[in-house]
Structure 1
Amino acid sequence: MFAVYATAPSPDDPLAALEIGDRPEPEVPDGWVAVSVKAASLNMHDLWTLRGVGIKAERFPMILGCDGAGVLADGTEVVLHSVIGDPAWAGDETLDPTRTLLTEKHQGSFADTVIVPARNALPKPEGLSFAEAACMGTAWLTAYRMLFVKSGLRPGQTMLVQGASGGVSTALIELGKAAGLRVWVTGRTEEKRALATELGAHAVFESGARLPEKVDGVFETVGKATWSHSMRALKPGGIIVVSGSTSGPDPSADLQRLFFLQLRVVGSTMGTRDELADLLRFCDTAGIKPRIGAEMPFKQARDGFQQMLDGETAGKIVFTG
């Protein structure tokens, strides 16, 4: 079958490991289902896989793609949940020490067919296209968990999103606006800040700019480049929710500010199947549509990877069959 896959870990030149071609048809174990993929979205996780981060060398070649939407053999339209854990695990599956994502142990969604446990194929809302639904499983689910499960923020409070154009950031802007929060956003360029305004941000600022007032919560996916600004932006008792560190994993902790102002720093990773189901319902009932910055055929996947590598995103990058 046709697939977009990584041939081997390539830490310094990730696109050198990217291949577009044929891979074997998957076998479907008991309790799993085959999904005919109609659309799949690109995540930073796919670039990390190409670099060999979070995946053992013996797992290559590995079909890329955590997210997707498609059709089951009986015609049911579904959205993929990419967190795969121990079926016997009870509770939050993101805390299961044996959990894994598609592309870490199991082949991913950038292919004609992907197999997942039956519980990982959720019904697609009629109000979302396949391309829109394909954005939900990683970036949008991460944003949903950060905002509604981890932050504790209430409608009317002020949230700051560090970074204006990535998949998680654009999702946070749309979800925060729909939930009645005041959404502030930083962006490196005028184009990225304009995108945030278009998505519903109430105010936008240059990266590192002094804000008019302190905020109740900051949403961090950038890390080292924005960390000190995030710490300075918070009200006493405020919270930073962190789900990534694209600019580096070693921010200065600023411990004196942390304890003196009683700030809180909370980590957040992906989300649960139930949270994805809630996110899909919320988007459907509220009429929320994910921002798709670029949509292209799977055969042009290298172009999409290059855009993400260069930081030239304006929403989600989606591949279609």
Structure 2
Amino acid sequence: RITHETIIWDTPGIESWNENEVRSYMISLIEQTQPLCMIYCASPGSFARLEHVRWLVSECYEKNIFCALVCTNMWAGRNRQGVVDEFCRILNSIHPNIHPIEEDNVIYFDNVALVTMVNSQEYIDKDFDVMKPASGIEQLIFGIGKSLNRDLMFAWFRTVSQNTNFWTNMSSKLSHLFQMPTGTLTSLYGHASNFLDFLFDESNFLHDDDDMTPLTTKDTEECLFHDAEIIDLPEQKSSKKLIFTFQLDDIARTIEFPQILQKLGAKSCKTEELDKESEHLLKFIVEFEDTEHAEAMYHFWQLTATNQINCTIVDELSDQFSNIDSV
């Protein structure tokens, strides 16, 4: 199975560097790493040279790098709101035409930056008998993800693909972001890494039926996959593969599609994103156990694509089959 590596570049003590050191190092680092985003953290009472922060944010904006300015360890001092206000002043000076919007304690500056407060661990002050739960981390993760473009968004969410709490607690917002029913997303979160692999052209069918999470489809006569079509049946007679294309308008359907094909005898499915006349398309390369199954699926698909055919599930065999009109 393919593994994915997340690299976090830390810059401890950058606040004490001189201007030339900061700028030369950060320019080199940005060019070398091509980062998904930049996260700048400051806790209440900490020291920071604001001109460094302002330059860093401005440089990231010029290079289309999203910035998250975060007040960390928020309960460690009373000046947490002051840290947030200072961050907002910096962003307002760089982006005077952007009207910030606050949502779930995250302040968004369009899709270029955000400001928020977090407490990654439970905070306990025994002297004053104060206990504060961890907070803000999941909202920060989601906020960064929703602000990135599609490819960077899924690369970012891959870093938390094993974080069950995130996928569970943020399921409502994620379902809206991915434009899929909450129930479908909830059924998938246990396989979040598989879900993300699928969107990144690295998915394979699971061969253990116990690992396959069933998806519930709506009861309708509407064609579930009206945007899918077979575009190729390899010419060689011994081919076991079919190629489908699928529009990316409905992510939930693009996940259901290969799972249903598996139940129809497909043993593997790989994906490849296409860009055809500016329309986002996904190509499925589906392999069956033998040529007989592949050809049967091909001819069945051609039949349904060229005829008005309805199909209804019945509870048991009955004489009603004799009353079905030919199609």
Task: Indicate the structure with greater helix content.
Answer: 2
Q: Given the two structures, how large is their TM-score scaled by the length of structure 1?
A: 0.28
TM-score by length of 2: 0.28
Q: Which has the higher contact order (CA 8 A, sep 6+)?
A: 1
